[in-house]
Amino acid sequence: MIKSIVKSPPNAILFDWDNTLVNNWDPIFISYNETLKKLGLKKKSKEETLKNAKYSLRETFPDLFKDDWRKARKIFYKTFKKIHLQKIKPLPKVEKILKIINKKKILCGVISNKDSNLLRKEINKLGWKKYFHVLVGANEAKKDKPSKFPLLLALKKISLKPNKNIWYVGDNDVDVEFAKKNKCFSVFIENKIFKIKDLKQKPDLILKKIETLELYI
């Protein structure tokens, strides 16, 4: 019954990063509000901040901060770099599922809207580099998620083309849109911040917990 949902096993499983594999929301929230404070702007709630964070900084800051967006970017990263490695925590059972994917010899990677250098530092901090065949962060491709370019770049690095045997696993509507736009198999992980009702498109697979991914591969 479970396997019938999946027509064929994945050739590759690509993940979002924040709120999919790790919890690193506090540094984002702290850094964003420090930026607002330094620019004399009203602070935002955690919910407002985190819902903006699904897009990359280069996509959101010009709209949010207008002519001051470069100054805002500098303030944000100065604060974030001081605290993100101390605060990062793997989400429950994530390393277990990464080990299973690795054991099954399925190609595995991360495509994130987090700055590429910061993404790699966080992966190295957790000792997870060994699990991933490809990493693509913000600013590496022509545009960031949900555009098609980060996936095309990632697949080029592992010599694959977009198809339903490429799975993209994420936690929000941008991730689902990203997978659908690229004709990949979309997996949505239920979470407290982004709800199923918020999704504009229907994922191919909805999981309550990431560890249940094992049942489908």
**CATH number of residue 131's parent domain:** 3.40.50.1000
Are 122 and 205 members of one domain? yes
The first and second tokens of residue 19, run together, are 């709120």
Could you tell me which residue, 81 or 49, shows the higher pLDDT? 81
Are 126 and 184 members of one domain? yes
Are 61 and 139 members of one domain? no
Are 71 and 127 members of one domain? no
Are 121 and 79 members of one domain? no
Number of independent structural domains in the chain:
2
The first and second tokens of residue 85, run together, are 């490695």
Q: List, as one string, the DSSP characters of 41-61.
A: -----HHHHHHHTTS-HHHHH
Q: What is the mean pLDDT of residues 142-154?
A: 96
Are 118 and 198 members of one domain? yes
pLDDT at 5: 67
Are 201 and 138 members of one domain? yes
| CATH number of the CATH domain containing 31 | 1.10.150
What proportion of the chain, given as a percentage, has pLDDT over 90?
84
Q: What is the mean pLDDT of residues 185-197?
A: 90
Are 203 and 104 members of one domain? yes
In the chain, % helix, strand, coil (3-state, to 5) comes to 50, 15, 35
pTM of the model: 0.94
Q: What is the mean pLDDT of residues 178-201?
A: 91
Are 50 and 63 members of one domain? yes
Domain containing 159 equals 3-23+89-216
pLDDT at 51: 78
Structure confidence by residue, pLDDT tens digits, 14-60: 999 999 999 998 999 999 999 999 999 998 888 888 778 889 999 99
Point out the domain boundary residue: 87, 109, 134.
87
Q: What is the mean pLDDT of residues 143-149?
A: 95
